[in-house]
Amino acid sequence: MIYNLLRFIKIFGTSIKSVAFLFVLFPLTVFAQSETVDNFLVKFYAAVFKPFGYLMLSVAVVVFLWGLFRFIANSDNEEEVSVGKRNMMWGIIGITIIVSVWGIMGFICNTIGACG
């Protein structure tokens, strides 16, 4: 009896796990139908966009500061100075892009009144 049960689980184990996962996921899909675009934007903005933006802004500032450090510390080596200038330029470009995207996203959220 136990051997047959173990054999059944071994054969259909992935199917059973898949069905169990769907039963767990089913209430989320039912509740997702009542989700409005405004609520989705608020949740997306708060859960994904803000943390990702902060992370990317931090990376851009670190790239800029690393370029500044290389520029100042190796002022006698022209190759290192050019690498430092390039890093500072890409840091400034990254900061500009991130702040612009934040502004556009804020404009869109304020226009439709979604992101509180």
Q: What is the pLDDT of residues 32-87, one digit of tens each?
A: 555 666 677 677 777 887 888 899 999 999 999 999 999 999 989 999 999 999 99
Q: Are residues 75 and 90 in the same domain?
A: yes
Q: Are residues 41 and 71 in the same domain?
A: yes
State how far the Cα of 6 lies from the Cα of 12, in Å rounded to an integer.
10
Q: Would the CA dihedral through 91, 96, 99, 101 be positive or negative? A: negative
Q: Are residues 55 and 94 in the same domain?
A: yes
Identify the domain containing residue 12 by its residue range: 1-34
Rg of the chain on CA atoms, in Å: 26
Contact 79, 106 (CB under 8 A): no
Please state the separation of Cα 29 from the chain's center in Å: 23
Q: Are residues 45 and 85 in the same domain?
A: yes
Q: Are residues 92 and 42 in the same domain?
A: yes
Q: Are residues 30 and 54 in the same domain?
A: no
pTM above 0.85, yes or no: no
